[in-house]
Structure 1
């Protein structure tokens, strides 16, 4: 089959594309220009004409591309599929469906979701939002590149803690900030790394124990994760995202909030924490007990292999599209 993946959110589209190629499919990744992406929601209306022009460009590509399957990432971008007049699958990732609570975007997002041939959502916490509009929406685990994000030996000079999530409130960064303050008070020599980005960046910058890095190219993340003993991910929504999964694939212990064992049928081997005290205590325990940290890391790698392997996730996407093509062929034969 010939696939189009539109908009690479958290590298999900590129990983799906790689998984589909590994299964023998031709896959093209199309990127929107995302004018004004860093602007607040209401100010994005000012660049709406530029975005519409870009959407028309993408719609033309989709019409002319003769794709067997079109997979669009981020809810409102489903409007590109509507403009193209082609069947499309819509993949929701987080704030895109939470924007259903915002009046300027609600109608457009609902339209994009309702017109989609199928709707996926990338983390289990999005189920209520997606199924309120599309009761048939399906959880599709994020595909992880297990060859790139792989275990590596811990170097002798490994730093202590790496905060791998964005320094934003919707990731629980305020709780992580308080946890680092607690850890610093108890361990004056603690060394913490974080990547700048998010409304709490300035607050982290003021902590002497924290080294802030500029936004890193994704290909550098495996080596960066490998140089740290403990990783801290998001501790807010109870769901783990792509960066937490990639850290687990590197066989490093990840501290995060996880409340969706029922969706997987198994607990994720993250070290669960939701309060500053829990985050601080978990970090100290893992830093002090290397045997436990290594065991958690090894179990994490196995869990990601079982539930998030990119080729297996791509096979699920392929199966849905094959079933759709078969249904359409059956209808065509009946009509004939």
Structure 2
């Protein structure tokens, strides 16, 4: 089994965990394009990079039984030699947004039609994935414990907005939550978020201090210093929210009805209710964290070992049906 491409390091976590269990899974992320360019040196770098990546794909695929392709727009890799049966893994934007683009839909639908199986990463995607492939299966995103820093809230009370400011993350509602927290704390709290998304400037105007996009390890350290994290307003626990919960940071957000069982988030009635929950967390974040015991919940529902076992069962079913 070869995992090709990735999204939010889900594939990397699955393969690393599987290999620790003795499973012979392999991993091939997208090619590094940072050295590509239009000048001669950049073009040569690109040619060498493509050749090296392709050779690696061949060496991994030839002995493999089948492929696990991450992200629905990248299924054309399944048509290239050496071909193998494959699984498609929807991660969000691919099936939620790109599938509605007439330029992308035929490729995504072709990939789902010809796949041995289809999985999707968050519960909100069910209504998008099942019309495309009726037997699509929910595979919860796994959290990699080893990459998480220790939660160390320090300094002035700080609330971090974990997601980018755009529609797919419920950006308009996030702005309302930011304004409500600013008002209820009377400016005594530092509000921080990413300088990312088409509504970022509106967040800045509300008093949110925006920080640049950053490498993953730095992003996790940034979240680990927060007294409270505000999750996205789209109603799902994406990787950022799961990582915050795993570190013990109190997470304020509302979840979609029926999406999760007893998730340890601080929910509230509208922006004002969420702001009140944020204020409660800020008053004693360590006590709120201890009461939530979120790490145990994440381990039960999003632990990497459980995710690998579920995926291995899907693989076994595919192999049995060949």
State the Cα deviation string for residues 244-275 of structure 1 (Å, max 9, x = none): 101110111111221254x55x2211122473
Instruction: Indicate conservation of the 8 Å contact 1:161/1:228, yes or no.
Output: yes
Normalised to the residue count of structure 2, the TM-score between the two structures is 0.84
Q: Does residue 1:316 correspond to 2:310, yes or no?
A: yes
Please list, as runs of the form range in 1=range in 2, the aligned pairs for 1:21-40 lying within 5 A after superposition.
Answer: 21-33=19-31
State the Cα deviation string for residues 93-126 of structure 1 (Å, max 9, x = none): 1111122222121111110111111000000111
Q: 1:82 to 1:106 in 2, by over 3 A?
A: same
Aligned counterparts of 1:318 and 1:196: Cα–Cα separation in 2: 38
Aligned counterparts of 1:143 and 1:260: Cα–Cα separation in 2: 21
Deviation at 1:313, TM superposition (A): 0.6
Q: Secondary structure of 2:319's partner?
A: helix
Name the counterpart of 1:202. 201
Q: 1:132 to 1:327 in 2, by over 3 A?
A: closer
Instruction: Indicate conservation of the 8 Å contact 1:75/1:92, yes or no.
Output: yes
Give the one of 200, 211, 226 matched to 1:228. 226
- Size of the aligned set, in residue pairs, is 303
Q: 1:58 to 1:278 in 2, by over 3 A?
A: farther
Aligned counterparts of 2:203 and 2:296: Cα–Cα separation in 1: 33
Deviation at 1:60, TM superposition (A): 8.8
Deviation at 1:163, TM superposition (A): 0.7
Aligned counterparts of 1:268 and 1:313: Cα–Cα separation in 2: 18
Q: 1:327 to 1:184 in 2, by over 3 A?
A: closer
Instruction: Indicate conservation of the 8 Å contact 2:231/2:252, yes or no.
Output: yes
Name the counterpart of 2:57. 61
Q: 1:281 to 1:303 in 2, by over 3 A?
A: same
Instruction: Indicate conservation of the 8 Å contact 1:255/1:271, yes or no.
Output: yes
Deviation at 1:289, TM superposition (A): 4.2
Instruction: Indicate conservation of the 8 Å contact 1:248/1:304, yes or no.
Output: yes
Gaps of 5+ in 2: 34-45
Q: Secondary structure of 1:194's partner?
A: strand
Q: Secondary structure of 1:307's partner?
A: helix
Aligned counterparts of 2:17 and 2:197: Cα–Cα separation in 1: 31
Name the counterpart of 2:168. 170
Name the counterpart of 1:180. 178
Q: Does residue 1:283 correspond to 2:284, yes or no?
A: no
Normalised to the residue count of structure 1, the TM-score between the two structures is 0.81
Deviation at 1:279, TM superposition (A): 2.7
Q: 1:301 to 1:150 in 2, by over 3 A?
A: farther
Name the counterpart of 2:43. none
Deviation at 1:327, TM superposition (A): 4.3
Aligned counterparts of 1:114 and 1:267: Cα–Cα separation in 2: 35
Aligned counterparts of 2:91 and 2:172: Cα–Cα separation in 1: 22
Q: 1:273 to 1:109 in 2, by over 3 A?
A: farther
Name the counterpart of 2:247. 250
Name the counterpart of 2:74. 77
Q: Does residue 1:89 correspond to 2:84, yes or no?
A: no
Gaps of 5+ in 1: 36-49, 329-336
Aligned counterparts of 2:22 and 2:294: Cα–Cα separation in 1: 29
Q: Report which stretch shifted further, 111-120 or 171-180.
A: 171-180
State the Cα deviation string for residues 298-333 of structure 1 (Å, max 9, x = none): 4221110111111221122122223433444xxxxx
Aligned counterparts of 2:127 and 2:103: Cα–Cα separation in 1: 20
